[in-house]
Amino acid sequence: MTAERLRFALIGTGRIGRVHAANIAANARTELAIVADPALGSADEVAARFGGKPARDPLSAIAPESVDAVVIASPTPTHIELITACIDQGVPVLSEKPIDLDMSRIDALRPRVRRASSPVAIGFNQRFDPAIAEVQRRVTAGEVGALEQLSITSRDPSPPPASYIGVSGGIFRDMTIHDFDLARFFAGEIEEVTAVGSTLFDAGAREHDDFDSVVVTLKARSGSIVTITNSRHSAYGYDQRIEAFGAGGLLNVENAPASHVTSSNATCAAAKAPYVGQFLDRYADAYANELDAFVEWVHHGASSSPTFEDGRAAQVLAEAAHLSSRAGRTVRIDEID
């Protein structure tokens, strides 16, 4: 490992991969050494823009003599194999969520992760959004008293392509999983899950027997109640809000405005532009902070990075929500886990 800058291999050069590439290139403690993607043209393009050597074979990029850490941003079905290779080579890895869509495959990897000599982090970047992180710190410090209710709202501006929904594992494993991680981040371990869903507007969700609108209620071991509201569309932009309530008061994370300018005239007062239009804009700082936390873990052996166990726990909640929505009943976590 280099003393000053960690040499990174980036595996996957899609939309999220390019976010990671930009952050690795911009961070004073990191450099992009290898960019791996079977689509070599895409790897060439990213390497030319952000640095590093392009490679076609992702496994060849996981070499401790060439890199100090790996970011996995490739499709979900590749995550298990690549995480395993990183563990075998003793190379720290930050993998995008989910770990896998099959709980049995996740659990088969679990003992190897526990024995691993190098960090295995999972990319729940929303924990690192400055506003969300601040509210969580203030809740933990007792500012609102014991957390009684947590409300999480997440609505995308528009649905993804039907082809994506078909391989995503469904809305709970793909979209709500971020909110499941935030629920644990704020409220601790969850005991019960109740989920309902509808398919109201999205033909892709209907084609793949998925939902485009869901509401999930979680009960934590502490007794606090978490409500998650998701939709695959939002006419006013990317809707991302959190409300933490207790006897001592209320803390909110509001939506990020696309503009701070308001307009008043004969037909409106203090009118605002819609909110930011996509998650890459809303969570740009979160992705950069996520990388910082991972680098801290690699260098110093401790950080706030979500672990493999955090990734698994969020997946368990997704499985419970899926079962609850299909069976029409509350599901206890010990039924899944």
The count of other CB atoms within 10 Å of the CB of residue 174 is: 20
In a domain, 204, yes or no: yes
- Indicate if 133 and 273 belong to the same structural domain: yes
**Pick from 98, 118, 138: which residue ends a domain?**
118
19 falls within a domain: yes
pLDDT reading at 275 higher than 70: yes
Mean pLDDT of the chain: 96
Output the six-digit token pair for 48: 């030319």
Say yes or no: 202 and 86 in one domain: no
Q: What is the pLDDT of residue 94?
A: 98
Q: Where in the sequence is the domain holding 230, given as residue range(s)?
A: 127-285+314-336
Clarify whether residues 45 and 100 are in a common domain.
Answer: yes
Confidence band of 215 (pLDDT split at 50, 70, 90): very high
CA neighbor of 212 nearest in space, from 157, 267, 259, 252 = 157
Q: How confident is the model at residue 280 (pLDDT cuts 50, 70, 90)?
A: confident
pLDDT digits (tens, 9 = 90+) for 92-110: 999 999 999 999 999 999 9
Angle CA(27)–CA(180)–CA(112) in degrees, nearest 5? 70
Do 196 and 161 share a structural domain?
yes
Token reading at 312: 């698994």
CB atoms within 10 A of CB 307: 16
Token output for 151: 């409300």
Q: Are residues 28 and 95 in the same domain?
A: yes
Q: 268 Cβ partners below 8 Å, 6+ apart? A: none
| Residue 294 belongs to a domain | no
Q: Are 194 and 220 in contact (CB under 8 A)?
A: no
pLDDT for the residue 40? 81
Q: Are residues 114 and 207 in the same domain?
A: no
Last residue of a domain, one of 56, 85, 118: 118
Q: Letter for the amino acid at 170? A: G
- Does 307 fall in a domain? no
Judge whether residue 257 has pLDDT over 90.
no
Structural domain includes residue 86:
yes
Say yes or no: 104 and 172 in one domain: no
CA-CA distance, 206 to 199, in Å (whole number)?
6
In a domain, 27, yes or no: yes
Mean local confidence (pLDDT), 108-120: 97
Same domain flag for 178 and 265 = yes
Token look-up 């008061």 returns 249
pLDDT at residue 2, as a whole number: 47
